[in-house]
Amino acid sequence: MENEFKNAIVLTGGIGTGKSTVASFLKLYGYKIIDADKISKEIFEAKKDKIKEIFGTIDRKKIRKTVFNNKEKLKILEDLILPDVKKEVIARSKKLENDKVPYFVDLPLFFEKQNYKEFDKVLVIYAPKELQIKRVVNRDKVDEKNAKAILNNQIDIEEKKAKADFVIDNSKDLKHLQKEIEKFLKQLK
- Per-residue pLDDT of 132-167, as tens digits, reads 999 999 998 989 998 998 888 899 999 999 999 999
| 3-class SS of residue 129 | helix
Q: What local confidence, expressed as pLDDT, does residue 1 receive?
A: 45
Size (the chain), residues: 189
Q: What local confidence, expressed as pLDDT, does residue 164 receive?
A: 97
Q: What local confidence, expressed as pLDDT, does residue 153 receive?
A: 85
Q: What local confidence, expressed as pLDDT, does residue 2 receive?
A: 54
- Per-residue pLDDT of 89-142, as tens digits, reads 999 999 999 999 999 999 999 999 888 999 999 999 999 999 999 999 999 898
Contacts of residue 33, Cβ cutoff 8 Å, sequence gap at least 6:
11, 23, 26, 27, 103, 104, 105, 106
> What is the DSSP code (8-state) at residue 31?
-
Residue 173 has pLDDT above 90, yes or no: yes
The upper half-sphere exposure of residue 153, i.e. CA atoms within 13 Å in the direction of its Cβ, equals 15
- Per-residue pLDDT of 47-71, as tens digits, reads 999 999 999 999 998 998 888 888 8
Q: Mean pLDDT over residues 66-77, rounded?
A: 89
pTM to 2 decimal places: 0.92
Phi, psi of 122 (to 5 degrees): -130, 130
Contacts of residue 182, Cβ cutoff 8 Å, sequence gap at least 6:
none
- Per-residue pLDDT of 2-49, as tens digits, reads 578 999 999 999 999 999 999 999 999 999 999 999 999 999 999 999
